[in-house]
Amino acid sequence: MKTRTDLWLLVAFCGFLFFYGLGSFGLLGADEPRYAQVAREMLDRGDWITPTLQGKPWLEKPPLYYWQAMIAYRGGRAFLPAGLLGDGITDQTARLPSAIDAALLIVAVYIFLRRFRPESKVDGALIVAGAAGIIGYARAASPDMPLTAAFAIALLAWWTWYQDKSRLALSAFYVFLALATLAKGPVAPFLAGVVLLIFALTSRDWRIIRGTLWIPGIVLYLTVALPWYVAVQLRNPKFFRVFILRHNLGRFAANLYHHEQPFWYYVPVVLLALVPWALWLIVAIVEKVRIFWTERREAFATYEDSFGLYLLIWLLVPVLFFSTSQSKLPGYILPGVPAGALLVSEYLAIRRSQESRISTLLAGIHAIICGGLVLAALLSPTVILNRHLATGTATYVATAIGAVVMLGMWATLRSRVGLRLLRDTTLAAVVLGVAAVLRLAAPTIDAGLSARPIAIAVLSFSHEPVPIAVYGTDREQEYGLEFYLNRTVERYGFGQVPTEAHVLVASRDQLERFMTRLADRKVTYLSRIAAQDLDIYYVSGDSSGASDPR
């Protein structure tokens, strides 16, 4: 009965945090629609080997997310009615792989903790599920969550082997490491190798490495990971140069794609990714460093201390490694976030076993974080709409709700049972924050940051495959339109003015500039996307305005 209750609790939280409202707003940024479009093209061609974008090989990422999205699209075509994008192709199905992978990660954490720390199995699983980074990337159409889930399950399987010497667990380590390699490339085995080497060094036990290098496991890894790499290289001889040299080594060594950030960039990123548990992560890290520094060899005498150090290494390796990279994006350090959440779970489990009470300072800071999380979620529609924090009734009401959450949290944590209620009260704030974003902010996010309303406006004038061009827009809108309309989008800025009749999406203040490019062609105003400062025009194919697709 207890296990059944635990599972229903996990299903409820994961169902809401990862799956509910996946299509509340359209795909965001340049990457989400681009990854989703690649998967669609692979499905339409029936090609499981070569990723393509607008019919051309697109070799930046391995195929695991694309394969999962293709399966989701097929399922959508079987069970969902036709929508904006056609049968099965929806925002939900594009994001479904990441949501499923996040849920599998939580199941793996629960099973792992049930074996090694049964008293904190639900706490640990829910703390991982409630981290902002996990929730955010579980709702993104990208390979970051497939990588994180496979990488985390692999390292949990390795620890199981380290404790039990189970060949089954070591086999699982190699299988999931291979899946992580199929998610984002050789960075997965590299990071895993560094984590294990540092752990062996700190524990002064090199038998760990000899035992890990198990020939059947290596063969299993190669059997799962290698076939696609061989097949794609044979079909696309430039794959090694594009994928390995440019998008792995090149991204690390040089700022090829203008993602330069300071060295300390990932310190605030990892703390934000662990919100609302960031304070406890800092406290847990300080405690583990203190234990290791004062006890050294004795730090490996107990399971709790040795596992805590393993988690600390697992967390810090991605952060430190990518801090030295010339190209930095928030998702790069996501594989370390589950370790940070488990580190928090371990620390809180030890505090509960000692029947400790939360100090006034820690209770106050955590209450501010949770109240601030709710406040930020409630204010997000106003900030997105106005590009700044505007005063008004909504702002005052949101501030009052945030203050109530802060005071209630502080009073609860300062009580005798504060530590026992920490998980539940914190997750309540997380659920309230996510609900506020989905219910209040989603329409504003969709209107102001997604290409979906632009595509809807275009389709309202014509469902025919009219050529699309853009001028003065961002690449996020360009890639979004390519996904939602399933058409190549041409850019006036590169001299690609279609000779035939087409629809033009242009920044509101660009009319006079592009009119000079159109000579005697007729330009008809169609609509305005006010939230994104864009206008939509119909441009005829000749001076008579013939071939009007409307």
CB 457 within 8 A of CB 527: yes
Reference 327, options 255, 266, 267; nearest CA is 255
What's the pLDDT at 328? 85
Cis peptide before 465, with omega less than 30 degrees from 0?
Answer: no
What's the pLDDT at 543? 54
Give the model confidence (pLDDT) of 85-105 as tens digits: 566 789 999 999 999 999 999
Q: What percent of the chain has pLDDT over 70?
A: 90
Give the model confidence (pLDDT) of 162-175 as tens digits: 999 999 999 999 99
Give the model confidence (pLDDT) of 241-281 as tens digits: 888 888 777 776 666 655 678 888 999 999 999 999 999 99
Please state, in angstroms and rounded to a whole number, the distance separating the CA atoms of residues 227 and 230: 5
What's the pLDDT at 550? 38
* Helix, coil or strand: residue 64: helix
Helices 64-79 and 167-184, packing angle to 10 deg: 80
The pTM score is 0.92
In DSSP terms, which residues pair with 535 in a beta bridge? 506, 528
Q: What percent of the chain has pLDDT over 90?
A: 62
Please state, in angstroms and rounded to a whole number, the distance separating the CA atoms of residues 487 and 471: 16
Please state, in angstroms and rounded to a whole number, the distance separating the CA atoms of residues 161 and 249: 32
Q: What is the mean pLDDT of residues 171-182?
A: 98
CB 517 within 8 A of CB 523: no
Contacts within 8 Å (CB) and 24+ apart, 540-549: 540/501, 541/499, 541/500, 541/501, 541/502, 546/501, 547/500, 547/501, 548/501, 549/461, 549/462, 549/464, 549/466, 549/501
